[in-house]
Amino acid sequence: MTTAILEMRGITKEFPGVKALNNVTFSVKRGEIHCLVGENGAGKSTLMKVLSGVYPHGSYTGEIGFAGQVQQFRGIRDSERAGIAIIYQELALVPELTVYENIFLGNEVRKGALIDWNETIKRATQMLAKVRLDVNPEAKIKDLGVGKQQLVEIAKALSRDVKLLILDEPTAALNEGDSANLLDLLRGLRDQGVTCILISHKLKEVIAIADSVTVLRDGQTICTLDAHEGEVSEPILIKHMVGREIEQIYPPREHKQPGAVVLEVRDWSAYSPSLGRQVLRNVSFTLRKGEIVGFAGLMGSGRTELALSIFGNSPNYRIEGELQLKGEPRQLRRPSDAIAAGIAYVTEDRKGNGLILIQDVKQNITLANLRALAQRSVIDANAEVKIANEYRTTMNIKTPSVEQRVSNLSGGNQQKVCLSKWLFVKPDVLILDEPTRGIDVGAKYEIYTLMNSLVDQGMSIVMISSELPEVLGMSDRVYVVASGRITGELSVSEATPEKIMELATN
């Protein structure tokens, strides 16, 4: 009988207003590959941050037992010293340094006060052999593909004598060949005695490699399945992942016969020169008047990229394909073109690229359509205040005045400011990217009600959402996106969480 290397008991972690983890129990046996699955927001990353000390001891309740001892990590350094290594989706390598410098970064091989480069290169070569990576240790990281970079990360972890290796979505950015390679390597490491926790959305992968699977949902442990004792299949996992009752948090919505096609995108492909990869492949979809079309999929599946590429292509992708607005082919070269053509895009990242946090509510609301308030380019300050106050009332933005800085508003009210700004441009097509991310249930309901009334008035809405209940509760039609492609189109009557999950994890 193998013993547990990791025992997390009764872990509860609260953020202001949210219980991210609620009495979670998580146990990993020595020498196994243990997969952790769950929807976005289920608490997987939070749990791993508790484990690795990103959230230090004291900021959560519960107990962590690792390698036979109760651990109280105060930071990442403590957990690293104990033998835990985490590899995140966004790799933590220095692009301009060489492979061997990266492997031993922060853990340099010393000879007195100096670095012993010869020994470093020798050991790096051994580590690379261990992860079966055939590259010159003197190559620079930026010259390697993502798959190889991932292996360098693992080599870096192994160089520190790691006992427990945690990989967060390691294959999200990899192609199939590289993914298969990586999984093979993990099996090899397991046979050498390294315990491994794998967080993955790709259930096929999970089933192929896992010795055990733990499912988290809404910050709670739902179950731990042993692949060697019982059956672990995709339907079973999906049922556990989405198995909650969908509460009545969506305003009633009748699915009317939609009108004429407003937006049509055909064979839309986009290549990102800065990422050096194809982000969208042959995407085609239509949007009709008075319709809410949901775009479901996992994070990083390419939905935001699709929205940005349509909305004037601000990331400067190389785009192929055709875009038609009301039957007319259009070229939208910059966001101002898209706005002029009647498209609005409400970002998923309102603090990053949605709001100007140091400016006030009225300045944010009017920013995208200042010319409507200006005569000969001079802003009518009274009209601006009037418009801002109108939105403040109709959108129920809770703020002492429209001269309040938006950084002082709560997330839900900030989102309402974002929405007001884009409603003020009077668009025909409204693209909402994760419209309710990080906001409370009350504000969510208000936003859903608003969406319904907007489509009743003839607007068309594209709603990108990672929350399945939201997609199912609000959409007339659903497209599922995975790896930059549309993998399925479902009407609301045929869409189920299981079907969407299956298409999204394809």
Partner 1 sequence: MMSGKTEAQASGSFMQDLSKVLRQNIRDYGMYIALFVIMVIFAITTNGIFLSPRNLSNLLNQTGYIAVLAVGMTLVIVIRHIDLSVGFLAGFLGAVAAIALVQWGLPTLFVIPLVLGLGALAGLITAFPIAQLGIPSFVASLAGWLIYRGMLQLATEGTGTIIIPDAAFNAIGNGFIPDVPLGGPFEQIHSLTLLLGIIAIGLFIYNDLNSRKKKIAYGFEVLPTAIFALKLIFISGIVGWITWVLANFNGLSWTVVVMLLVVGIYHFITTSTVLGRHIYAVGGNPEAAELSGISVKRITYIVFGSMGMLSALSGILFASRLQSATTTAGTLFELDAIAAAYVGGVSAAGGVGRVTGSIIGALVMTSLTSGMNLMGVGISYQYIVRGVVLAAAVIFDVATRRAAR
Binding site for partner 1 (CB under 8 A): 311-312, 314, 334-336, 338-340, 345, 347, 352-359, 363, 367-368, 370-371, 374, 377-379, 381-382, 385, 389, 401, 403, 421
Nearer to partner 1, 80 or 360 (CB): 360
Nearer to partner 1, 200 or 363 (CB): 363
166 close to 54: Cβ distance less than 8 angstroms: no
- Identify the three-state secondary structure at position 505: coil
Minimum separation from the CB atom of position 382 to partner 1 (A): 7
Minimum separation from the CB atom of position 352 to partner 1 (A): 7
**Tokens standing for residue 307:** 């929205």
Minimum separation from the CB atom of position 379 to partner 1 (A): 6
Minimum separation from the CB atom of position 347 to partner 1 (A): 6
Q: Number of C-alpha atoms within 13 angstroms, CB side, residue 197?
A: 30
Q: Which residues pair with 212 in a beta bridge?
A: 34, 226
Quickly tell me which residue has 């409603």 as its tokens.
423
Minimum separation from the CB atom of position 312 to partner 1 (A): 8
Nearer to partner 1, 236 or 357 (CB): 357
Q: Please state, as a whole number, how many other Cβ atoms lie within 10 Å of the Cβ of residue 243.
A: 11
Alpha helix segments (H runs only) across 35-82: 44-52, 76-82
Minimum separation from the CB atom of position 237 to partner 1 (A): 37
Minimum separation from the CB atom of position 356 to partner 1 (A): 4
Q: If DSSP states are collapsed to H, E and C, what string results for 319-353?
A: EEEEEEECCEECCCCCHHHHHHCCEEEECCCHHHH
Q: Which residues contact 118 (CB under 8 A, 6 or more apart)?
A: none
Minimum separation from the CB atom of position 160 to partner 1 (A): 36
Nearer to partner 1, 177 or 352 (CB): 352
Distance, in Å, from the CA atom of 17 to the CA atom of 14, rounded to the nearest integer, reads 8
Q: What angle do CA 485, 488, 494 make, to 5 degrees?
A: 160
Over the Cα atoms of the chain, what is R_g?
25
Q: Which residues contact 462 (CB under 8 A, 6 or more apart)?
A: 263, 287, 293, 295, 307, 429, 430, 431, 432
166 close to 52: Cβ distance less than 8 angstroms: yes
Nearer to partner 1, 95 or 235 (CB): 95
Nearer to partner 1, 70 or 356 (CB): 356
Q: What is the dihedral of CA 43, 44, 45, 47, to 10 degrees?
A: 80
Minimum separation from the CB atom of position 399 to partner 1 (A): 12
Pairing between strand 69-71 and 114-115?
A: unpaired
Nearer to partner 1, 71 or 347 (CB): 347
Backbone φ and ψ of 197, nearest 5°: -110, 130
Nearer to partner 1, 153 or 305 (CB): 305
Nearer to partner 1, 205 or 384 (CB): 384
